[in-house]
Structure 1
Amino acid sequence: MTKFAPKTPGTSALNADQVTEFLLQHPDFFAGRDELLAKMAIPHQRGSAISLLERQLQLLREKDVDTQRCLTHVINNAKENERHFDSIRKFSLSLLESRDMEQAIEAVEDSLNHDFNVEFHQLILFSSQPSNLPVRFESKDITESLLGEALSNSTVFCGQLDEKRMAFIFGNKTQQIRSTAVAPLRFPDYIGLLALGSCELDRFKASLRTQFISYLGDILSRHLTHLMYIDQKIKRK
């Protein structure tokens, strides 16, 4: 343990590191030394000085504020995640209850409108064959050539698309849409895409964590693939 003796002529002055080390080793040093505490002051940014006790209280208040902010952030994230999970649960159950493609498409539209509050959405399936189903069909080659970057892999694309691509997906509604997300539907091959649009600039931004949107795409891919297989099997009979 470091020894500290009163300064006498010829004795070198203590430096800041030595004082710091001593106080760390003796956290109760100021106990019973109220007169010393009252004389100590810490310069403030505004030029005035405050006592050591006042400074300690100020630090404790600042830490409390930071802790409250972190706790509020965690709670808000938890509530948001809970809302997402509840919406996905409803979405999944609605799809599972659908008996054919028409019911599945209606379930998707209803869930996106009411459970997820998505203002604009477009479900596009890849096919060159005409269909009476209430869903949009496009050629896979044409779609991939126009939306190459958004369909370059199996992950969700969030960010800005140029006017040509926006017009291809959303038609004449592009002026109202400020952020977009595109989830490729793939199981095991590409069968289409689910595009979401919002009037809010930050709703689908590039830095957004896309787990929930990706999960929607995964659920939809598997169920639609199953229903399409059943539909084709019925038509061949």
Structure 2
Amino acid sequence: MSRQHARTALVTGGNRGIGLETCRQLSRAGLHVVLAARDLARGQEAARGLRGAGGTIRVEELDVTSGKSVRECARRLADADVEVDVLVNNAGVYPTDGFLSMSEETLDHALDVNLMGAFRTCRAFVPAMARRGYGRVVNVSSGLGAMTDNVPSPAAYGISKAALNALTLVVSSAAPPSVKVNAVCPGWVRTDMGGSWAPTSVEKGADTAVWLAQLPDSGPSGGFFRNRRPIDW
């Protein structure tokens, strides 16, 4: 991909963990990257270690729990003539409460971040992808939200990721074939969220998301992937 024709990818929750590594790998691949973070200062600090790796890095303040924040970010990018070709919905939370001890507030927050955050960004950026005839959307989900595994995870997390999988199917059906919309299970990854004992490196955890972000026109849409292979919902 030539720098002149490089695509632009926006990654939510891009200041740490899988999000930061996704930014790094996409930048190395030559894409321009919008590193979106709820805390602008943390986003700027994270970007310092990425610049010079490949494509350009732009930092944007973006709180996926706020429709206003998402709309303002989209407006700033449009005003700067930045077209988002790739959207990686990585921002997420991992509450560990069991169902019988889980509060309504815990479930509300998990759904607000893990489901509604992706809904808000898809509503903000997918229509323009459809108009331009190109787009890639990657929803960072989890096998712990798979219905085939009986949603075996902590309650709020599993429910919210199962809902994110459903959103993936809905958006992929609504979008034209030129916009590929998929979900990814990165596995159990060594991050602040996954813990230092997790078996999967952050580089490996980001790999499938980066692959889905660069699918060719013949690539799949409406799928759920781990290690670049389809898995059951």
* Same fold flag (TM > 0.5): no
TM-score by length of 1: 0.22
TM-score by length of 2: 0.22
Larger radius of gyration: 1
Q: Higher relative CO (CA 8 A, sep ≥ 6), structure 1 or 2?
A: 2
